[in-house]
Amino acid sequence: MDTHTQKFKFRLGLFVAGGLAIFILAIFIIGKQKNLFNPVFKLTSNFHNISGLQVGNKIRFSGINVGTVDNIRIINDSTVRIDMLIKKDVWQFIKADCSVAIASEGIIGDKLLIISQGSSDEDLAKEGQQLQSTEPVETDAIMKSLRTTGENAEVITKQLAEIMTKINKGDGTLGRLIQDKSMADNLNKTMVNLKESSKSLDQNMTAVKHNFLFNGYFDRKAREAADKKKKTQEVAAPKK
């Protein structure tokens, strides 16, 4: 056997060994992600709509990846059952009253399952137990709500624009008040007259207080106010 043939076989053997090692490593990585090499237990939950959830998607508890979606099957025309594989090392935290919800990784990311925390005094979930589910909010419903909000905002903006146009043209009371200088002057004069009337009223009240005919009345009111203030202070004062 010549040297060239031996080198070729040696390289072929290295290539096959390298490919086999990569293949085994890939299986190990995928299997680790799918919990194929970790002790797991199974839980289930029923939904009316799974919103694009797929087998193999992640399951999170307290923000940590704890399992994967193992199987999805239609039970009837209104129920879809999801089988979950959960790592056994988190079993001690999964309570019987935990609930399951469908969420997304980011705004447009893959779907995943979120297991909420249960009550501290509740028993642990059992193997194969069905957890309560929380139906997801559909993206279409959110978009419809946003579209309705946008339409309402557009109507309000249009109405405000019409009001401002009328004001600028001098239509309506507010428009005339802003555009008509004489009307604004009359309003200023009215405010001045009100201030002068208030000042005159204060002066009249001061004069009445100093009139001997009303001295007794105002003195009695002052004493009553002082007695009331004193009683309030006595009640509020701490007892020794």
Highest mean pLDDT among 8-22, 27-41, 133-147: 8-22
Helices assigned H by DSSP within the chain: 3-33, 139-169, 172-179, 181-210, 215-236
Residue whose pair of structure tokens reads 């992640």 in the numeric block: 58
For residues 82 and 113, give the distance between their C-alpha atoms in angstroms, rounded to a whole number: 10
What pLDDT does residue 80 have? 93
How confident is the model over 183-208, as a mean pLDDT?
A: 70
Q: How confident is the model at residue 125 (pLDDT cuts 50, 70, 90)?
A: very high
How confident is the model over 11-34, as a mean pLDDT?
A: 69
> 141-162: per-residue pLDDT in tens?
566 677 778 778 888 888 787 7
236 token code pair: 């509020």
> 61-105: per-residue pLDDT in tens?
988 999 999 999 999 988 999 999 999 999 999 999 999 999 888
